[in-house]
Amino acid sequence: MVSPSMQDVTALIDGDILVYRVGFSIDDPEEEKFAISRMGHMVDSLLSVEGVEAYEGYITGKTNYRTDYAKELPYKGNRSKARRPVHYDTLREYLTSKWGFELVEGQEADDAIGIEVYNLPEDRSCVMSIDKDLDMLRGWHYNFVKKELYYVEEKDAIRNFYTQILTGDRVDNIQGLKGIGIKKATKILQDCEGEQQLFDAVLSAYDNDVDTLTERARLLWIRRKAGEIWIPKISQR
């Protein structure tokens, strides 16, 4: 697909990533003003990509529905003792007050981005992040570290999701199948056409353990509609 003029799309910015990247780059408690300045420059640089005119930004709040579904392991439980950037709160406040980023409660910034992607026409959004999880959303994506603009077709977005059910997500403390990385997952799904075949192949890899599969999938799924909870695609055969 031909890349769009960014004047015609809405940039959807992952504020969580910005806070951590800028925050950890300036770790001195005395450098708060410098951290704020660097954040301002980073947002400015995103909005200068191909003349972006419209944007929305999101930051994850304190509550997340996924914690109610995580029975196997605490959702993001491996982060409980992880250190946050020194200027974490300051940078979040700056993004909401100065740039109008939305503080998202009950779900994650990723979900708010996903919902907006599917609210907009198919080629009229551009997700700005470096988070590979967001590749389960269709449309334009901009990796602001690699300076790479690319398009994810809907069929590939769904395939990326089922691939992640197989591999899991260590960053978020979500288990995958033992011994399955991206190469094996790709091989398992290589002959699948359509979501039903993808689901059936993943369920088979899980030895028909639909409960474990469903829990992990619900934690991994990025919402496309408000309040959406992922439902397994059990074949009616």
Helices and strands (H and E) in the chain: how many: 8, 6
Segment 169-196 shows an average pLDDT of: 96
For residue 79, the model assigns a pLDDT of: 74
What integer best gives the mean pLDDT of the chain? Answer: 94
pLDDT higher than threshold 60 for residue 2: no
pLDDT tens per residue across span 9-55: 999 999 999 999 999 999 899 999 999 999 999 999 999 887 788 99
For the cut 80, the answer to whether the pLDDT of residue 187 exceeds it is: yes
CATH assignment of 155-220, given 3.40.50.720, 1.10.150.20, 3.90.1150.10, 3.30.530.20? 1.10.150.20
Q: Check pLDDT > 70 for residue 6.
A: no
pLDDT of residue 49: 84
How much is the average pLDDT of 84-103? 97
CATH number for the region 8-153 comes to: 3.40.50.1010
Domain residue limits, the chain: 8-153, 155-220
Pairing of β 139-143 and β 54-64 = unpaired
Q: pLDDT-based confidence at 117, cuts 50/70/90?
A: very high
Distance of CA 111 to the CA centre of its chain: 7
pLDDT at 113 over 70: yes
Local confidence band at 1 (pLDDT 50, 70, 90 cut-offs): low
Write the pLDDT tens digit of every residue in 120-171: 998 899 999 999 999 999 999 999 999 999 999 999 999 999 999 999 999 9
Query: For residue 57, what pLDDT is reported?
Result: 98
Segment 197-232, tens digit of pLDDT = 999 999 999 999 999 999 999 999 999 999 999 999
Contacts of 108 (CB under 8 A, 6+ apart): 16, 60, 64, 66, 222
Structural element, H or E, at residue 13: strand 10-14
